[in-house]
Amino acid sequence: MCGTTEGGRVRADARDNRERILTAAEQVFGRSTAASTDDVAKLAGVGIATVFRHFPTKLELLEAVLTLRLQRLRDTARELAGAGDPGTAFFEFFGQVVAEAGSKLAIAEALSAAGTTPGEHARQAGVEMRQAFGELLAKAQHSGAVRADAQFPEVYALLVGASRGATASGLDAEVRDRMLAVLYDGLRPRP
């Protein structure tokens, strides 16, 4: 990345520009995978050259946005894991992932359409997010909020499936919430 001082520290304005670019890119690419880096620059309030100084290709920008989203989900899961009620934390996180899935999937699909897969940073963020989700699941099971026979691979598949289903079918929030209520009922222990 450019915009460093002689000591190798990132200048405050360069750091601010990078953050604005990532925020804008998340919004722009989350709405349309056909969006351009020009659209990102306009929304970020920077020139296109500034975008390319930070992210030399659109693919690098897409990957940075995907990595950021996965890191945020990881951080949310970790924060919720320390919350008071493990069951509430688990179901809150599950619902948040499904609600935000559309824009995350759009970014991942844009990478796929470009003939590439997420790079090392995004893959690592995904691994860490899944680990944090696994911790939420284990705590919810230990508390009795989620059935003990529900293994991580099945529960993660439900999370991915619900996310894709809500996105692909364009479910409105009310229908999505009813779908999640049915899914949650299946994850809760039977009396």
Quick one: how far is CA 132 from the chain centroid?
A: 13
pTM higher than 0.85: no
Distance CA 17, CA 86 (A): 38
Helix 120-142 and helix 152-168, axial crossing angle in degrees, nearest 10: 120
Supply the pLDDT for residue 24. 94
Distance CA 140, CA 24 (A): 35
Q: Tell me, which fold does domain 1-56 have in CATH?
A: Arc Repressor Mutant, subunit A (1.10.10)
User: In the chain, where are the structural domains located?
Assistant: 1-56, 58-187
Per-residue pLDDT of the chain (191 residues; tens, 9 = 90+): 455 454 556 688 888 999 999 999 988 888 877 788 999 999 999 999 999 999 999 889 989 998 998 999 999 999 999 988 999 999 999 999 998 887 767 777 777 766 677 788 888 999 999 999 999 999 999 999 999 999 999 999 999 999 888 877 667 888 888 999 999 999 999 88
Contact 159, 101 (CB under 8 A): no
Distance CA 146, CA 65 (A): 32
40 closest CA partner among 63, 24, 57:
24
Supply the pLDDT for residue 8. 57
Q: Tell me, which fold does domain 58-187 have in CATH?
A: Tetracycline Repressor; domain 2 (1.10.357)
Quick one: how far is CA 84 from the chain centroid?
A: 24
